[in-house]
Structures are given as structure tokens and as C-alpha cells.
Amino acid sequence: METSAARKTNTPDFATAYYFLEGLNELGIDYLFCNFGTDHAPIINEMAHRRKRGDAMPDVVRCPHENTAAHMAGGYAFITGRGQGVLVHVDVGTANTANAMHNLYRSRLPVLLMAGKAPYTANDELVGSRDTYVHFVQEPFDQASLVRPYLKWEWTLPSGVVVKEALRRAFSIMQSEPRGPVYLMMQRETLTQHWSTDEIRRYSADQFAATSGGGADPKLVAALADKLLTADNPVLITGYAGRNAHASEAIDALAQFAGIAIYEANMTNNISHASPCFVGFAPDKAVPNADVGMLVDVDVPWFPSDVQTHEKSFWAHIDIDTLKPGSPMWTFPGNLRMQGDSGRILEQILEDLKAKATPRFKAAAAARLERIKALRSERLERAAKLAADKGKPGAINPHYLMAELGKVLDDDAIIFNEGVTNAGAVLMQIPRKKPNTTMRSGGGGLGWSGGMALGAKLAAPERLMVQISGDGGFYFGNPSSVFAVSQQYKLPIFSIVMDNTGWNAVKQSTLRVFPEGEAKAASEFESQLAPKVAFTKVGEAFGAYGEEISDPAEVPAAIARCLKEVRGGRSALLHARVTRM
């Protein structure tokens, strides 16, 4: 029988939430980082249903705070490149992810954020109607506005019949370059609607691909190669090219061939620091003298208030995101801009340059390489000098602490650097041979490093994840939630708190704007936090190993003990009392 009535009786029939979980699985989403509420009753029920039937669906990681959930998805995407699901409770849970959405958006990390919406029926008309107080107060006019500045796409699921189509659309957009967060909202009445299996279509990855970055227009490539051919003082500045290992290699190859000094400014994903052309993190002195500059995958190459380019200089901007559409102002030069995969574009440039290279160019490049070698030695000498002073009891020198850590970390360990005013010590003192082994948030929302480290650990259990934060950043990260997830899901990370007794960045900012102001005269910067906190107890409450140190002499042994614990399977929290602000 082929009538629709016959089909309805003969084909199985499931709730939308059942297909929703199936759709996530078909997208290849491995995990749902969840913080549940009343909006999720249909999903929770179908999770049990699918498990009972032996049907596949993403694994659930329950996070006591949404900040952990969203940043875990970020950490997972940082390692795998694949966005995961984050499921939170209506407007309030969404609001709790806003800080993370800011960070993920600015870091170009994909994530599929999902939340319920208050039920739209109140008189028991449909399964899932309003049945509790909060359903009447959790419906703002514009729920998505809570995170809209950080989204590439948003929608409210209008009917279960399109649930898989909507998920595929969300997935394609978050995975397309430049990647970032998308947001899907759903009501209970939609999630409980029943549909037969032949009414729900599949949307395969083969047919619905995401957009990736490609190479550049050969004319623009040739124009830049011509400029490099006659450059006297070329520089290359990057911030996040290290997210792709091949981009790190392409930068190194081009720089070595053409004698280009490489800087990482406001780095978020490091390139290899072993490159013979890598000279450090501060391009300020080099920029005014550069005649040809290359900005490669970078958000903030320098601060224009401190640094001006030479008026005759030529700048090429090569980026997966040349337009920076999320920024009302973006003020860096580009006589020529090429949007795409920076690794591929740099390979094109190198190929063109090799074909054009003259003996004069080769001699000039070789001379530049000698100068770069000297700059490199200077940088390493300066770092060693800074680390030589160990500090004193109660005031461990952060450079010394990080240098000792650098001695014992292997090349594959990943550092989540939320050191704020001590972030420079992390960058300078810990050698990083491999790309993407130091991560900083592309955004400015503190409290990301713990969740990111956990998510990364989930994606790469064999690698060591090191979270480094200031004392202020540690509070922002909802550490009780971080250590709870670490314990429950057996995700050991090494957390280091560099405690300088408060918000040094706030103090320094006040001094920068008002070097001789009232705040300085009164020595009151509104930055001091509680002085006698035993941060280790936060970790210990969740079975982590905790150690507090204030004497520099204790540093090497304390680091060794913490690493032993992490390798043994539980998180370690090292609270270091460093030079006070």
C-alpha cells in the first residue's frame, strides 16, 4: 500500500529530540557539553531512549558552569578543528556563555551553541507546555541578543521536520572559514513533536560541505614577490598562523629564503619558535624601519599609538579573515590584501620568488639572515638574564618560574597562557618548537584557560595540558566547575596560578593613562584582592593535588611533584606567590 495513511502506520515514528540527537551524530559531533534545565526534558528523555535502543549519539559531558562547557568546546575545536555542541538552559544559561562566546568568536573557533526557549503554550495544549514558574519568566523578547555580537548564524527551530536540515546549516556555517560560533534555539513543544522516519531527510557532509580557505590570485602573488625581490628590510608579523602547521612551515621557508625577520605580535596560536628567522614578540622597533611588511593571520600586529609605519613602506596582508567584519574599526595597512589559507598563499609566493630570484637578491637575503641570527641570540640572552634572578621568598620571579617549567615540558605539551601581565614571561621563557603548542584567547574575556585545557585534554588525552593564569583570571574561570569536570571525566590538567595579589593589569592601565595622577599619588589602584587565599583548596575539594609555593628554592621540586601527579591521572594545582604587583 502506498497511501500516506498506510505509510504513517507502517513507518516508525519518533520525537523531534530523537532526530535532533541523530542529526548531531550525523554531523560528526563527538560531544555535547551540557548544563541542563527544564527546557531539556525532551532531549534528556530521548537520550535515554537512544541509549536503550543502542542508537549512536554524541557523548554528554555535564559541566556545573556554562563557562566551562563553552570553553571546553573551544579547547576541543582548538585541537581537532571541529566544532562541538554546547547545550545550555534558555536565556540564563546563554547569558552565562557570553564571555566564552566572545572568546571563541575572537579566536575563530567553531561551536554549536544550543539552548531551549520557554514553552510557547500555557494550557497543556501540547506535550511540553508550561508547567513551572520559570517558564513564565524565562522568555525575553530577543534571547539571541545575549550572544549575537559573537555569532555567525542563529535560528529558532520552527518545526521538527527540518531539524536535521537546520543542524547541517548550522554546522556548515560554523565550520566555514573564518570559523566561529552559531546558535540554535528550540522549544519543548517542537522537540516533542513526532515525525515518521521517512519524513526526516538526511543532509550528508558530502553534499553540504563547508567553505575552506584557498590560495590567492596569481597576479597579487606576483606583485608581492616583486616587492620582496628588492626589499631591504622585510618583516613578517603573525598572530594566529600557528593554528595550521603548514602555515608555520611556509612562513619559515619563505623567511629563510628571503631573509625576513618573523615576529609574533599578540600571539594567539604560536608558530615554531625554532625557526632561524623567529626573533620574538615585539615588532615595535622593526616596523618603522621595514620597507616591505607582511601581516599574516593577525588581529593586532602593533598598537598604532606606540608605533608608526614608514610612509613609503609597502604592506601585504594575508589572512583567513582580511576584512575583520566583527570589528567596527580595523586600522592596519594593506597595500595588497589576500584572503585565504595563509600557508598556501605563502607557498605560492615562495614559488614565484624562487623563479625570480637574482644573485643580488640571494646575497642580500644571506646578509639579512646573519643580522637575524644576531637578533635571535639577543632575544635568548635577554630571556636568560630575566630568568637568572629567582626572586625572593614571597615573591618568586615569574620569569624564573616559567624558565624552570620550560626545562621539563616536552615539545607536545600545550600551554594555555592566561598569564595577563605575566603572559610575556610565559612566551619568553618556555621554548616552543612546534606550532600551536601555546594558545592565548583571541578575545579578552578572562576565565577561559581551565575550560579550554579540559576540552583539549578530551581531544588529545596523550598530551600534557598546562593552564597558566593570574590570580584574577583563576577566579573568572569558575575553578570549582573546572576541577569538578576534571575529576568526573578523568581529565587531568596542570594548573598554575601566578598570584601577584590582584589585578596588576588594572593597576598598570591606570598608570599608563595617568602616569602622575591621583591614583598614583594615593597608591590606590582598586586592584588588590583577598591576600590570604589558599587556592589549592579549590582543587583539593575535587580530588586534585594542590601545592602552594612562595620560596623560589621550592620551584623545581614542586613542578616535578605536580607533573608526577598529572601523569598519574589527577589534576595538579600549583599556587605560586610571585612578584607582587
Ligand X SMILES: Cc1ncc(C[n+]2csc(CCOP(=O)(O)OP(=O)(O)O)c2C)c(N)n1
Torsion on CA atoms 318, 321, 326, 328, rounded to nearest 10: 20
Any bridge partners for residue 238, and if so which?
264, 296
DSSP-assigned states of every residue in 452-488: HHHHHHHH-TTS-EEEEEEHHHHHHT-HHHHHHHHHH
Interface with ligand X (CB under 6 A), residue total 20
The least CB distance from residue 419 to ligand X, in Å, is 7
- 470 sits near Mg ion (criterion: CB under 5 A): yes
How many residues are there in the chain?
A: 581
Q: Which is nearer to ligand X, 99 or 192 (CB)?
A: 99
Indicate which of Mg ion, ligand X, none lies near residue 506 (CB less than 5 to 8 Å, by partner kind).
ligand X
DSSP letter at 281?
S
- Residue 36's φ and ψ, nearest 5 degrees, are -90, 165
Strand spans (E) along 478-571: 494-499, 545-549
Task: Name the segment binding Mg ion (CB under 5 A); options: 4-12, 97-105, 151-159, 471-479.
Answer: 471-479
Q: At what angle do helices 90-106 and 66-80 cross, to 10 degrees?
A: 30
* The only residue of 244, 417, 422, 429 in contact with ligand X, by rule CB under 6 A: 422
- 579 sits near Mg ion (criterion: CB under 5 A): no
Indicate which of Mg ion, ligand X, none lies near residue 234 (CB less than 5 to 8 Å, by partner kind).
none
Amino acid in the structure at residue 402? M
Q: Which is nearer to Mg ion, 342 or 500 (CB)?
A: 500
- 420 sits near ligand X (criterion: CB under 6 A): yes
Torsion sign over Cα 406, 407, 411, 412: negative
State whether residue 59 is helix, strand or coil: strand
Asked if 174 and 152 count as a contact pair (C-beta separation under 8 A), the reply is: yes
Task: Name the segment binding Mg ion (CB under 5 A); options: 76-84, 201-209, 345-353, 498-506.
Answer: 498-506
102 contact partners, CB below 8 Å, separation of at least 6: 149, 150, 443, 444, 445
Q: Which is nearer to ligand X, 91 or 471 (CB)?
A: 471
The least CB distance from residue 15 to ligand X, in Å, is 38
- 581 sits near ligand X (criterion: CB under 6 A): yes
**Structure-block grid coordinates of residue 102:** 566572545
DSSP letter at 286?
T
Task: Name the segment binding Mg ion (CB under 5 A); options: 115-123, 187-195, 211-219, 465-473.
Answer: 465-473
- Residue 63's φ and ψ, nearest 5 degrees, are -115, 125
Site string for ligand X, 186-225 (x = CB under 6 A): ----------------------------------------
Task: Name the segment binding Mg ion (CB under 5 A); options: 115-123, 404-412, 438-446, 499-507.
Answer: 499-507
- Residue 533's φ and ψ, nearest 5 degrees, are -75, 135
* The only residue of 27, 267, 446, 544 in contact with ligand X, by rule CB under 6 A: 446
* The only residue of 234, 340, 450, 473 in contact with ligand X, by rule CB under 6 A: 473
**Structure-block grid coordinates of residue 294:** 607582511
Asked if 67 and 447 count as a contact pair (C-beta separation under 8 A), the reply is: yes
* The only residue of 504, 510, 536, 579 in contact with ligand X, by rule CB under 6 A: 504
The least CB distance from residue 507 to ligand X, in Å, is 8
Site for ligand X in 72-131 (CB under 6 A): 99
The least CB distance from residue 471 to Mg ion, in Å, is 4
The least CB distance from residue 74 to ligand X, in Å, is 15
266 contact partners, CB below 8 Å, separation of at least 6: 239, 298, 299, 300, 301, 440
- 503 sits near ligand X (criterion: CB under 6 A): yes
Q: Which is nearer to ligand X, 38 or 422 (CB)?
A: 422
Task: Name the segment binding ligand X (CB under 6 A); options: 162-170, 205-213, 285-293, 501-509.
Answer: 501-509
Cα gap 498→469, rounded to integer Å = 6
Indicate which of Mg ion, ligand X, none lies near residue 58 (CB less than 5 to 8 Å, by partner kind).
none
* The only residue of 67, 94, 270, 500 in contact with Mg ion, by rule CB under 5 A: 500
Q: How far apart are the first and last CA of the chain?
A: 80
- 472 sits near ligand X (criterion: CB under 6 A): yes
Asked if 253 and 277 count as a contact pair (C-beta separation under 8 A), the reply is: no
Asked if 90 and 119 count as a contact pair (C-beta separation under 8 A), the reply is: no
Q: Which is nearer to Mg ion, 270 or 397 (CB)?
A: 397
Q: Which is nearer to ligand X, 421 or 438 (CB)?
A: 421
4 contact partners, CB below 8 Å, separation of at least 6: none
The least CB distance from residue 76 to ligand X, in Å, is 22
Site for ligand X in 149-168 (CB under 6 A): none
Count the Cβ atoms, other than its own, within 10 Å of residue 124. Answer: 10
The residues that touch ligand X, with contacts defined as CB under 6 A, are 99, 420-422, 444-447, 469-473, 476, 500, 503-506, 581
The residues that touch Mg ion, with contacts defined as CB under 5 A, are 470-472, 500
